[in-house]
Structure 1
Amino acid sequence: MRFAIENAWLIPFIPLAGAILNGLLGKRSGKLFVSIVGVGTVGIAFAHSVWAFLALRGVPERSFSRDLWSWIPMGSPSRASLGGGFEAPVGFLLDPLAALMILVVTGVGLLIHIYSIGYMGHDEGYSRYFAYLNLFTASMLTLVLANNLLLMFVGWEGVGLCSYLLIGFWYEKESAAAAGKKAFLINRVGDAAFLLGLLLLFSVFGTLRFTEISGSAAALHAQGVLTTGVATAIALLLFVGATGKSAQLPLWVWLPDAMEGPTPVSALIHAATMVTAGVYLIARLAALYALAPVAGGVVALVGALTALFAATIALTQFDLKRVLAYSTISQLGLMFLAVGVGAYTAGIFHLTTHALFKGLLFLAAGSVMHAMGNRIDLREMGGLRRHLRATHWTFLIGTLAISGFPFLAGWWSKDEILAEALQLGTRVWWAPGWLLWALGSLASLLTAFYMVRAYALAFHSDARIDPEVEAHLHESPPSMTLPLWVLAGLSIAAGAALALPELWGQAAPIEAFLAPVWAYALGSHAAEASHAAGPAWGPMGIATVLAFAGMGGAWSAYRQRLPSPEPLERARPLWNLFDQKWYLEQGYHALFVRGGTWLAGVLAGPVDQKGVDRALVGIGSLVALTGEGLRRLQTGYVRSYALSVVLGVVLLTAYFMGR
């Protein structure tokens, strides 16, 4: 069993090998080879992850760190609180938090790889697709298993690159290419802040190792080396990086456009794994955020506002994948709300369950697209339950899970976040627990409404399907429906498996499993505050009532037909506000795109043409004049040269005699 832990570096390495093989040999080796390598390498990584997860439970300290080699050894820094030189090892850290994350990444990733065999089977870029998907899996696993912040940043940039490649996978489409560039550029903004935070953190701690940061943060704070202001600055810079990767306000605009990529990509990268990297980053640095209450308040409030903001936009969407995209932004907001108030277990719990039911919903949406010739507009659907039985039932399970239907996965994790937001709150007056709870509860109400709206418009209501499309409707092949059923089963059972004992006041299995992580980072007393003591029946009951209200309202409005106008559409100003995304994207475009173009035009004349151009021309003219002057000195007459020598000697003699 020790082998699994000590060689956890194989978990990201095996998918990386698959990416290299498919990238170099896939096109000439055929689809069978690509499928075996692409799915097989992730399957091996999943098996190793399960093995390591089980083996870790037998390690007394529940943590294992190993350096493979020293990547960037340098001399002693002038400002390093812990002493020693700058060192960036290639090493991994396997603890309960990392073990749970690699299970999510490889488990959901394996199902999506299997699904992709059927979904992408007729695509000409089949080998390129699996090479990118394997590379993403390797990058995400590197991010999760890294034992230091710099190696995590390598994985962070790797998943960003793969996201760009996969969003723009069908690069012949102008919209897909533009969406890929948009995602890449916006993430660079967040990544720049991440890098600044990383450098500032090193200047204080003198190390980038997570274990050393967590183990020394409180002591450095007590000594006055790590002041509250500096801790807040580091935490906020890293949080800006997290908002880019996890599509939170204000860097959310790239994720809806990312739906231009293949649907399995949306399920894996933009729902289940990559976008959760920001939540994982904050949980991993819990010791730092515990010393920065203002940063924690910002994280919680931005998360709550993002959850409500994205939920309102989803109410007006007719593109099924965009409904799920805005839902993802909203659910990520709830996760940030959780970690912002210090409910780290609840945040990671929801991260886990969300990966299951949101992956399920995206794959089911892909099954609908597969049946309908890539049509995704809800106004062109209706009555699909009669044609796509497996897709219908699995989409229904995912809808109920995300809506908070009792005892399904989302009910356990989402309601716990709301309860703990109310109980714990933050340590700043402008982000009280009751406000965070109210924002999160309203977002949850709207989530139940728009998800049942999407389900009813697609699978119930009156049929609005084009007759030619309806004539060819068919269920997806087993390679696509099998992952749907597996994820549906997990969406039903995973929540209870991870939290059921909490109903009678005992510690939930996920709390007991993750407790050593928070105990090391926060201390035993602070770790107790990362989860509520037993179920909070009042807040959970209110959340359940709100879920049923949202589901019931949508079902009554949409189960028979697509109403015209829609209920919210009757309040036209409100509908327009939500439909236009609160006009934020137009504001960004006006400020940064048009503003940048205008500024470039203004500066082009006085700065570029009159400044830079004239300076360059002036330098050239000066060189020409100098050359012309020197040319005139070269007369070719010996008497001129002799005169110059004599004058030089006279001047030098006069100079030295005058000293």
Structure 2
Amino acid sequence: MDALLLPLIVACPLLAAGLLFMSAGRMPPLPTCVIGAGSVGLSALMAAMLATGFLRTPPPAGALHATLWSWMQVEGFNTRIAFTLDPLSLVMMLVVTGVGFLIQLYAYGYMHDDPGIARFFGCMTLFVAAMLVLVFSSDLLSLYIGWEGVGICSYLLIGFWHTDTANVAAARKAFIVTRIGDAALLCGLLLLATRAGTLDIPALLHIAATRPADLSAETAAFLLLGGAVAKSAQVPLQTWLPDAMAGPTPVSALIHAATMVTAGVYLIARLHPLFASVPAAMTAVTIIGLVTLLLAAGSALVQTDIKRILAYSTMSQIGYMFLALGAGAWQAAIFHLVTHAFFKALLFMAAGAIILRVHHRQDIYQMGGLARAMPGVFVAFLAGAAALAGLPLLTAGFYSKEMILQGAWHAAPLLWAGALLGAFATAIYIFRCLFIVFFGTRHTEPHGRTGATMAMPLACLAVLALTGGWMEMPDAIAPVHLLSHLLSPLFGAPMPEGPTWLLWAGSLVPLAGVGVAWLLWRPRIQTRAPPEDALARLARAGWDFDTLYDVLIIHPFVTLGRLNQTDICDRLSNATAATARAGGRMLGRMQSGQVRRYAGWIAAGTVVALCLGARP
């Protein structure tokens, strides 16, 4: 029975997506929401049942398998469509279905009057189904199907309001940048398939742990890392994520919290024996994570668009997860993935509620004084901000970030210092946003109220953002290690805890960041953003990676293409086409439809044939 639930959890949103697409927009909003959100809710219910049974009576082999069919069998290679539920996929399943259902429910209140709501929910449910395929797959080829599925769904959802050319450009940018990583990932999979003769994950991990040279592990690890970096928006392929804010806010919540950007973290964690066998790849993961978390935090400090602040925040928090993965703190990375899903979905959904009620304005300096006008949204945003900043004891983000800091300390004190600096900047930028939006002088009068379908998910996520970290605590606070105990069969024992002063430092630094934010942006009359110096403008532009890529890649290729428009190959093809057109015109003149001309051609041909035959 449990093995049957695995494909059913995927099938529910997949069938719902097909039904919504086939409705061609003729279905009213309420049935559309019932089908879309209901299918993900049903998957979440089955996931909870499956998780309960798994935890109560673990399978004998530590994992539950469901083989659907054999995909291809050729000499030296075979692959199959099969799902596996182990502790890692169990955690991801609960996050994707649980948070995904809350986002779907919220989306009805946000999108109920949009004429394309059926297409929207169809893409959203397909997004969840693709992510579940990625999570459950026990074969890298079927994982790649889910990987590409979330990519195409993100393209469709980012450009959902396609009448605006800026939205289309943002969707195209996300699609192209992530395709770079997808190409690297595909090359890595082909290399592994060639070397091992299979893409079955357990078989590959066994070879990686015992004979990594047989897999060309170093090359494969870096190719797979390229895919993870692009999908999770890490330096240097992070430029697509801020522009992805062009999509509706529920899309932003789904991409940033439960699905796409966590796929790269999941891939590295799933294949951790392969990466652990390549120290250079682990170092690269660590450096990428540290650089991304600091650069993104610096950009978030100077943004004025509320959704772009949260977008850069996501890049920074995923950077923390990469840092933990590279340091070998596997449990810490997954723990932060879980808590981040709670508070980042909460923050995006609270931001969406604000945007709806202030006439779709997104500039934080056009808001102000909203705490009294929308107290429920304020409490929700405060809970999410506190969790993101990692305020001690009270929030889930504190416990997961503290676990990462402990792992970074054991890897290298310099990494710990960089991660602590990122935590300081995180507290500053998110409470800067909160103080400007909810306190001070009101610059836009809000209208309406936040409906129940939007308020209930906010309330649930606010509770999770505050209490979700209680599953894993430092021994100095309480010896609770539920998540580590669950994941230890895959990752081994977690890293030992460091000295107590590390805990004090991790607790005081976020509080110091909140204090700095209060001193700089405490409630006062502030009608516009302060003037920016050159460094602030550079940070606001995402450190000008787009300009760099324009200069180094895009403009040279465009110029080369323009200069190469009439090369020898083009001239040969143009001459061939011109010859074919001329021959067609000549033959067309012969087919005039006039019998006397046909008779004349026949007579002329007969004379020519007789003359040729009469020659000696």
TM-score (norm 1): 0.86
Asked if residue 49 in structure 1 is aligned to residue 58 in structure 2, the reply is no
CA contact (8 A) 1:504 1:534 kept: no
**Count of residues in correspondence between the two structures:** 597
CA contact (8 A) 2:12 2:43 kept: yes
Match of 2:465 among 476, 480, 491: 491
Q: How far apart are 1:352 and its partner, in Å? A: 0.3
Q: How far apart are 1:220 and its partner, in Å? A: 2.1
Match of 2:79 among 81, 84, 88: 88
Q: How far apart are 1:537 and its partner, in Å? A: 2.6
TM-score (norm 2): 0.92
Query: Taking every aligned residue pair, what percent have the same amino acid on both sides?
Result: 39
Asked if residue 68 in structure 1 is aligned to residue 87 in structure 2, the reply is no
| Corresponding residue for residue 539 of structure 1 | 502
Secondary structure (helix, strand or coil) at the match of 1:65 reads strand
Mapped partners of 1:538, 1:607: distance in 2:
71
Secondary structure (helix, strand or coil) at the match of 2:69 reads strand
CA contact (8 A) 2:343 2:387 kept: yes
The amino acid across from 2:404 in the alignment is: I
Secondary structure (helix, strand or coil) at the match of 2:566 reads helix
Match of 1:206 among 187, 190, 197: 197
The amino acid across from 1:555 in the alignment is: W
Asked if residue 556 in structure 1 is aligned to residue 519 in structure 2, the reply is yes
The amino acid across from 1:171 in the alignment is: H
Mapped partners of 1:438, 1:493: distance in 2:
27
The amino acid across from 1:344 in the alignment is: W
Mapped partners of 1:513, 1:144: distance in 2:
17
Deviations 1:552-573 (A, max 9, x none): 1011211223668978x57x23
| Corresponding residue for residue 214 of structure 2 | 225
| Corresponding residue for residue 255 of structure 2 | 269
Secondary structure (helix, strand or coil) at the match of 1:511 reads helix
Q: How far apart are 1:6 and its partner, in Å? A: 4.1
| Corresponding residue for residue 589 of structure 1 | 550
Q: How far apart are 1:301 and its partner, in Å? A: 0.4
CA contact (8 A) 2:27 2:118 kept: no
Ranges in structure 2 where 5+ consecutive residues have no aligned partner:
586-603
Match of 1:460 among 439, 445, 465: 439
Mapped partners of 1:641, 1:440: distance in 2:
95
The amino acid across from 1:48 in the alignment is: M
| Corresponding residue for residue 512 of structure 1 | 485
Match of 1:173 among 164, 171, 179: 164
Match of 1:124 among 115, 124, 141: 115
Q: How far apart are 1:607 and its partner, in Å? A: 4.5
CA contact (8 A) 1:503 1:535 kept: no
Q: How far apart are 1:316 and its partner, in Å? A: 1.0
Match of 1:284 among 262, 270, 287: 270
Match runs of 1:235-634 below 5 Å:
235-407=221-393, 408-423=395-410, 425=411, 433-465=412-444, 470=445, 472-496=446-470, 498-500=471-473, 502-503=475-476, 506=479, 508-518=481-491, 527-528=492-493, 531-534=494-497, 536-561=499-524, 572-607=533-568, 609-610=570-571, 612-614=573-575
The amino acid across from 2:62 in the alignment is: R
Q: How far apart are 1:102 and its partner, in Å? A: 0.6
CA contact (8 A) 2:205 2:271 kept: yes
The amino acid across from 1:341 in the alignment is: A
Mapped partners of 1:417, 1:564: distance in 2:
39
Q: How far apart are 1:33 and its partner, in Å? A: 1.4
**Larger displacement relative to structure 2 (100-109 or 583-592):** 583-592
CA contact (8 A) 1:69 1:91 kept: yes
**Larger displacement relative to structure 2 (202-211 or 275-284):** 202-211
CA contact (8 A) 2:406 2:497 kept: no
Match of 1:640 among 594, 600, 612: 612
Deviations 1:439-490 (A, max 9, x none): 222221111100000000100122222xxxx1x5243011111111110000
CA-based RMSD of the aligned residues comes to 2.4
Deviations 1:571-622 (A, max 9, x none): x232122123222111112333322211111111334554643576689999
Secondary structure (helix, strand or coil) at the match of 1:27 reads coil
1:600 and 1:478, CA in 2 relative to 1: closer, same or farther beyond 3 A? same
Ranges in structure 1 where 5+ consecutive residues have no aligned partner:
78-85, 426-432, 519-526, 625-631, 647-659
Mapped partners of 1:421, 1:641: distance in 2:
95
Secondary structure (helix, strand or coil) at the match of 1:87 reads strand
1:55 and 1:597, CA in 2 relative to 1: closer, same or farther beyond 3 A? same
1:608 and 1:545, CA in 2 relative to 1: closer, same or farther beyond 3 A? farther
CA contact (8 A) 1:56 1:62 kept: no
1:31 and 1:581, CA in 2 relative to 1: closer, same or farther beyond 3 A? closer
CA contact (8 A) 1:259 1:266 kept: yes
Secondary structure (helix, strand or coil) at the match of 1:71 reads strand
The amino acid across from 1:486 in the alignment is: C
Q: How far apart are 1:212 and its partner, in Å? A: 1.2
Secondary structure (helix, strand or coil) at the match of 2:371 reads helix
CA contact (8 A) 1:31 1:127 kept: yes
Secondary structure (helix, strand or coil) at the match of 1:8 reads helix
CA contact (8 A) 2:408 2:415 kept: yes
Mapped partners of 1:157, 1:34: distance in 2:
25
